[in-house]
Structure 1
């Protein structure tokens, strides 16, 4: 069925049907709902090329990944985010354009996406302290939503983030309540906003209990298994080692678990471990009983919501910026227990 045939069945002009299907504000809601219902009933699919020509939209969203962080593409956290965002794009007939570029070409890539009209907007990943991409995207007028926040940025912008500071504060308090006073932090790279906030939550919780944070019990690196292993091994080799670890991801937590085993210790008995982001599609935290105690947040759901925010912004470019702060849930697993007696 083509547009003309659908319009004939509805007794409307093809122009009205087209405008109803494409969200033009001059079509009243009752007519829009009637047209949408008929299109669904008759399995009508609009001609995407014609819509693009008529509206000037690309019906595509961009994700620009610098080569320095290309490991993110195979990171299950990134994969879950993209899967969630992809569900939103598909539901709204949008395509996704993923660009992996040299670091020095990141700015030029955003400018090119805008000038060529390849995308209607972008999602910004891995925000950093005073992130220059926010000012750039404001300058070139490309709609965007940030997955995370950028400390130090004064310009208004839309973002969706997990309350990283509160998540790590609660996790640290949980370990303190178990009697642990020597808690190691296996953090992500601390020029990244999420890692800055996680360290703040960790140190705030210690300070509130009268414990001076010990730099020897803190590490900052890529959130990989080998980095988690090396950080935990180094801390466990100290004359007075930690009795617990707070790890920035399940992957770094797996490295910490390997380091604990190498020392002949038992996770959950001799050393406690809490991880972040355990709700992953292809890297499950155990079956019925979670292996790790975790601060859980659904990255897939974050992808869905961030994509929805961007599509809303594309539809209403003059709307005020949106901000959504999601809270992580503390999940009990087998990796934590009371601090061992010295």
Structure 2
């Protein structure tokens, strides 16, 4: 296992930090829509979108480089759908699709002209597909599809008799209904409903049961962990700075033992997220079995995310819950990611199931 950053990771991370920090320092704040089209296009022009997809469309980099960019997006809460459009949807099309599909869906995304939203199955929501003479007929619904409110197309996971299948469905397709939903940190999510939508073969990635859906879930989980690391890093930095400057009884509150202990615990939590993220991302990048490591990383992203988010608000006291104050945005972002791709309890269940399967 090698945690040393590649040259590409260093370069992409530095470029992303410069771009998104400049955006934030100009007084820009994420609005409820969660999407800044001008910033998305600037991200494409900087080369951050095409770098992390396979050649010849992109730079040929992968999950490690994507995580480096996602950390920087998390630090500023930049309203760009990199996680959904690049790390999951475009990467899946590039990995499992043919040349025509890559040209149709990946090229516009990495050019900043389009966004994709993954509508992967959950325990409560999902889609089913039945074979037709020319392709598939898809029905079902998925609630709270991230970045679905403004997505141009959706990467849909549908169940079939032969196993799960990935399809790309254009928003304008007949039978597709998209309803904007308000979630904890904005209105970028959507309820996606498909009513007997006819999908032809060119919109289908691979074949049912080929492992593409599982691949997409793994990448979505790793990406969520990377984004959470950036959120928690910056939240802890802001909280530490506040504890050094905010005074009570003529002393910085950071000098009080209880506050110091709370910050120390938060530091350990952030480092646990960092270590488990890179362990999972490295194994995934090497094509090694990584289900247990990814579940472990998501457990820490959820559990530690909950604790650090609450520490941030508690140490800031009443100002921490003001909607106009930046700390609140980190709190709600961390809480949303806590449950993305399953919370801490769901990850422990995955680990328990894997442990039982490995027993002789």
TM-score, normalization: structure 1? 0.25
Larger fraction in helix: 2
TM-score, normalization: structure 2? 0.24
